[in-house]
Amino acid sequence: MSTFQIDTSAPAPEGFLTGQLLIAMPSMADPRFQQSVIYVCAHTPDGAMGLVLNRPIVKPTFDDLLKQLNVEPVPPAREIKLYAGGPVENARGFVLHTSDWTGEGSLRVTGDTALTASLDVLKVIAEGGGPRECVLALGYAGWGPGQLDQEIQQNSWLSVSADETLLFDKEHDTKWRRAFAKLRVDPLLLSGVAGHA
Span 111-156, pLDDT tens digits: 999 999 999 999 999 999 999 999 999 999 999 999 999 999 999 9
Is 195 domain-assigned? no
**Residue % of the chain over a pLDDT of 90:** 78
Closest CA to 96 of 71, 78, 113: 113
Number of domains comprising the chain: 1
Reduced to 3 states, what is the DSSP secondary structure of residue 62? helix
Picking from 1-10, 14-23, 40-49, 176-185, which range would have the lowest pLDDT averaged per residue? 1-10
CATH number at residue 88: 3.40.1740.10
The answer to whether the CB of 120 falls within 8 A of the CB of 75 is no
pTM for the whole structure:
0.88
Query: What is the chain's percent helix, strand, coil content, to nearest 5?
Result: 20, 30, 50
Dihedral of the alpha carbons of 193, 31, 21, 133, in degrees to the nearest 10? 160
Is 73 domain-assigned? yes
Peptide bond preceding 73 in cis form (omega within 30 of 0): yes
How far apart CA 45 and CA 43 sit, in angstroms, is 7
Domain that holds residue 129: 20-189
Output b/e per residue, 157-167; b: 16+ Cβ within 10 A.
bbbbebeeebb
Is 114 domain-assigned? yes
Is 51 domain-assigned? yes
Closest CA to 24 of 58, 57, 56, 53: 53
Residue 3 has pLDDT above 90, yes or no: no
Is 173 domain-assigned? yes
Output b/e per residue, 9-29; b: 16+ Cβ within 10 A.
eeebeeebbbbbbbbbbbebe
pLDDT (0 to 100) of residue 10:
45
pLDDT (0 to 100) of residue 192:
52
Is 2 domain-assigned? no
- What are the beta bridge partners of residue 114? 97, 108
pLDDT tens digits for 50-103?
999 999 998 999 999 999 999 999 899 999 999 999 999 998 999 999 999 999
Is 83 domain-assigned? yes
Is 42 domain-assigned? yes
